[in-house]
Structure formats: C-alpha cells, structure tokens
Structure 1
C-alpha cells in the first residue's frame, strides 16, 4: 500500500516538473510557434518518464499553449493579435464578475483591508522618481496578490478556476505587461491609473455597488489592451512580454 502511494506521489511530482519545464520553454521562446514537441527529446531534456510527460502535455493543451496536430502529438500554438486581445477581454470579464459577486455577497472588513494593503504597497512603489528592480518585484507581488484576492472574494470556486485558467496564458495574466510598461515613456502614468482602478473597485465592493465594481474591473483589463498596442510599436519592448514569441503579428 505504501509503495503504491509513493508511486502515485512520484508520478504527480514528475508531472508538475514536466508541466513547469515545458511551460517555461514555451514562454521563453525556446519552443516556438509551430514547433512539434518530441516526447523522446523532452523526456531526455526534462528528465521525466513518458507517462507524466504526456499528462503534462494534455494539461498544456487545456491551458491553450499547445494543440494536437493531425499527424499525432502536439505542437506549440500560435496566437494572432486578435487572440491575445480576446484573452485579455475574457480575463477582464471574469474579474468583473468576481468584483460583482464580491459586492453583492459582501466582504468582511478584514478581507477588504488585505486589498487595501496591496493598493498601499503599490502606491509606495510607483510614486518614486525611478523604480529599480526591487521596486518592480514588490509591485509585481502586490499586483498579483490583489488580483488573486479579488478572485477569492467572489466566493465562487467555479469562477476562480476560470480566472486561473485564462491567466495561465502568459500574455493574459494580470502582470503580463509589467516589464514592458517599465520601458514605456508613459509607464508611471499607466501604473498610477491602474492602481486608481484598484482603489476604486475596493471602494465599490465595500459600498455594495456591484455594477460599478464590475465595470471598473472590465475597464482595468482594457489597460492591458492599450499596453499591448504600445508594446507592439517596438519589438524590443514586446520581447519583455512573457509569451510574446507566440504572437503572430500582422504585416
């Protein structure tokens, strides 16, 4: 019995290892759009057996990073600009629904205080003359924490799963454009506007203004739309967006 449990745990651990390694290879551009994923090569490269590797490939297909090919196996997926905009819009719609649910169902002051601490941390980070690497890491953590908390406060496990699923697409996550934003002349203004959205949605949730809370988070996602358009003006800037190598740009 103990041996069986250990075998299951070992297989699960190898699946997680394979999943993280494959996702990293794709997001970093080492595996490019259209590349066929060879199981034998990946088994050797990652150091896992074929069964957990195949399980990881199925999970990556569900996430939308790879797709089955007619000849068998999987290839890295390519995304059009429209695909990316749609993914961002879907995240905004889902986070808007999370904010609506939180406002309608009510949130304890202690949980609202957690959101406010994220807002304050971001404020202290972005209102500086020059953000260094440590500042960006602080911003990144606080921003991701804010969005994760917002999903939790919806009180809907089904909605939380869907938000996590769309956010696994590297360019659709809440922090996808942080490094790209840093290289833009408008960076500080964009970050300030984004954090004002955070502040406003906390206020709307506290006041039980569900429609307002939903609208704010949908508008918040539109900032990512704008940031993508700005990033696309320069390949150097676009390269700072995780998974940008998967985006098939229009001529």
Structure 2
C-alpha cells in the first residue's frame, strides 16, 4: 500500500518533516469535513485515509487526534473516529468563543511585545490582503487566496501572544471554515441561507472589504501599543461573521 511504503525511518526521524506532513493532512481533512465532502457520521480509518492522501498512517493519526480536539470528529473505543455533525448553532458558539480568545491574543501580543520582524510580517500580510481587495475581482481562486492570507494574519497574532495554552485553545474553535465564506461552502450553514447569498460574487464582497478595514485597524492599534483597543477591534472583527450570518440565515 502507498501509505505503508512512505512509513520509512527517514520520515519518522525528521520531526520537522513529520510536523509539516501532519499540518498538511490536518488542513486537507478539515477542508473535506467542513465542506461536507466527508459526510457526518462517516467513520475515519487511518489506513484508508493514508492511502487516499498518499502519506503514512502516522500523520493521519496525529491529524485525527487534533480534529477531535477541535470538535470536528468524535472518538469512541468501539467505533474509532467519526465525523461529528456540526450545526449552525455550533458554529455560532465557536465564533463567540473565538472572538474572546483572539481578543485576548491581541492584548497579550501587545503586552509581551512584538519583534520588529514579526510586526513587519503582519503589515506585509495586511498589504497583500489590501492588494486583493483593491483589485476588485473575485473568484473561487481569489477567495481561497484571500482566506489563506487572512488565516496567516490571525495565526501570526496568536503566536505573538507567546501563550501556548491560548494558542491551543484557539485551535479548538476551528469548526467553521477558514478557507472560504462559511455561508457558501459549509453545508450546515448553507442549508439556512437563501440561494442568492450562496452565489459567488464576481467582485469583492462587502464583508471582505469590511474585514480588511478591520485588519488595518487592528494592525494600527498593535503598532500604537494599545492592547486594549486591539482586543476590542479583534473581538468585533470576529463577531462580524456571526452578525452577517444572523442577518442572512433563515433559521428554523
């Protein structure tokens, strides 16, 4: 089997390679689950997933354990790992918690100090996002690019807080997509959203423009050394997703 062939000592002996492989597998499995390509209640077998993803079983097992911590899969002795059904209420709850945690990360990042290199990197990510917004075009490819840079922007702030407990706890709130518009690509949300809000726009959506303004305000507060304001802005930024979903969702 392909998965077994890759499980050589050279891979297991390289912790950095193993960590990168686990991250890749984790991202892929998370995407398949949150977009409904792996259906709720599906049993996840490490051997089959390893063959499908062309990796060894070791990073798959590590990724499944992390997905369990995030709440996307559940584990039982008898059934192993299965995809957990996620409701729109679960997503709202995760946004509420994430807003508080990311606000704390903003505040602590300022209190504990940013290196010049990291702050330059954060500003560069913001500039990349601004360039996408200012170009005005939108497509699946552009959306994915924007959300990936957006993820890096948030992750850099989380890392700058220098709080491993906080960073690991934030990871557990990732039950809604960070790779695209949750209203469009997450079945548990899309089921509540009218068709017109699930169509991909040809131009940059208004909520993306507002999100980028939020990024720039957060960056400005961090640069000014105002941790409390940075925290307030980040909380409002994350909660804006929930407010938008509430506005367009036809909750039953």
Taking structure 1 as the reference length, the TM-score comes to 0.70
Cα distance, 1:98 vs structure 2 = 1.0
2:228 corresponds to which residue?
A: 211
- Return the alpha-carbon distance in structure 1 between the equivalents of residues 132 and 47 of structure 2: 46
| TM-score between both structures, scaled by the size of structure 2 | 0.70
Give the conservation status (yes or no) of the 8 Å contact 1:140–1:178.
no
Q: Which residue of 1 aligns with 2:213?
A: 196
Give the counterpart of 1:104 among 111, 115, 119: 111
Alpha-carbon distance in 2 for matches of 1:141, 1:223: 19
Partner Cα separation in structure 2 for residue 119 and residue 34 of structure 1: 38
Q: Compare CA radii of gyration and give the structure with the larger one.
A: 1
Change in Cα spacing, 1:49 to 1:84, as seen in structure 2 (3 Å) is: same
Residue 212 to residue 185, structure 1, CA distance change in 2 (3 Å): farther
Matched, 1:74 2:99: no
Preserved contact between residue 138 and residue 201 of structure 2 (Cα < 8 Å): no
Structure-2 residue corresponding to 1:240:
none
1:177 corresponding residue in structure 2: 181
Q: How many residues align?
A: 229
Runs of 5+ consecutive residues of structure 1 not aligned to the other structure: 234-249
Give the deviation of 1:179 after TM superposition. Answer: 8.6
Q: What secondary structure is seen at the aligned counterpart in 2 of 1:145?
A: helix
Residue 156, structure 1, aligned to residue 163, structure 2: yes
Compare 99-108 and 186-195 and name the one that shifted more. Answer: 186-195
For 1:119-148, what per-residue CA distance to the aligned partner results, in whole angstroms no more than 9, with x for missing partners?
222222112343345543542343122112
Separation (CA, whole Å) in 2 of partners of 1:135 and 1:153: 27
| 2:38 counterpart of 1:31 | yes
The one of the two structures with greater contact order (alpha-carbon pairs below 8 A, sep at least 6) is 1
* Structure 2 unaligned residues grouped into runs of 5+: 1-7, 185-196
| Match runs of 1:34-73 below 5 Å | 34-37=41-44, 56-69=63-76, 71-73=78-80
RMSD over aligned Cα atoms: 3.8
Answering whether residue 132 of structure 2 is matched by residue 125 of structure 1, we say yes
How far apart, in 2, do the equivalents of 1:84 and 1:52 lie? 26
Aligned to 1:220: 237
- The structure-2 alpha-carbon separation of the partners of 1:224 and 1:185, relative to structure 1 and needing over 3 Å to count, comes to farther
* Alpha-carbon separation, structure 1, partners of 2:26 and 2:37: 15
